[in-house]
């Protein structure tokens, strides 16, 4: 039986920042240029042309929706939005003391 379960994996934060589609309740936005109103199934940003390799969800995530998105976008890596925000916060806080 196949299930969806969260796993931890080392990924490059800079790569995530450049290639993530952040899916919200009503529309999605690009992590690279912050363009809003992008279709949640877009593979490329209409404004800056970055390719979306990752997808994060600002909205509450329901498993049937995640399964549907995974089936439709098999090449996309799904990441936890809170983990992403925390990593950026840690990086920015560290940069303040450089
Ligand atoms: Zn963009």
Task: State pLDDT tens for residues 34-91.
Answer: 999 999 999 999 999 999 999 999 988 899 999 999 999 999 999 999 999 999 999 9
- 48 Cα–ligand 1 center, Å: 4
Map out the domains of the chain as residue ranges: 13-91
Separation of CA 29 and ligand 1 centre (Å) = 8
pTM, to two decimals: 0.91
Report the separation in Å between the CA atom of 21 and the middle of ligand 1, taken as the mean of its atom positions: 9
CA of 91 to the centre of ligand 1 (A): 21
CA distance linking residue 70 with residue 49, whole number of Å: 22
> How much distance in Å is there from the Cα of 50 to the middle of ligand 1?
6
Helices (H), the chain: 13-18, 63-72, 81-96
CB 40 within 8 A of CB 69: yes
**Rounded Cα gap, residues 91 and 88, in angstroms:** 5
**Residue whose tokens read 């809170």:** 82
Give the three-state DSSP class for 37: strand
């Amino acid at each position: 039986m196949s299930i969806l379960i969260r796993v931890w994996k080392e990924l490059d934060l800079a790569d995530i920042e450049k290639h993530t589609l952040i899916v919200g309740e009503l529309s999605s936005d690009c992590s690279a240029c912050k363009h809003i109103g992008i279709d949640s199934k877009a593979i490329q940003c209409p404004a800056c042309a970055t390719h979306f390799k990752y997808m994060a969800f600002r909205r509450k995530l329901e498993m049937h929706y995640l399964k549907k998105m995974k089936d439709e976008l098999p090449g996309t890596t799904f990441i936890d939005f809170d983990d992403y925000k925390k990593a950026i916060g840690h990086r920015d806080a560290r940069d303040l003391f450089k």
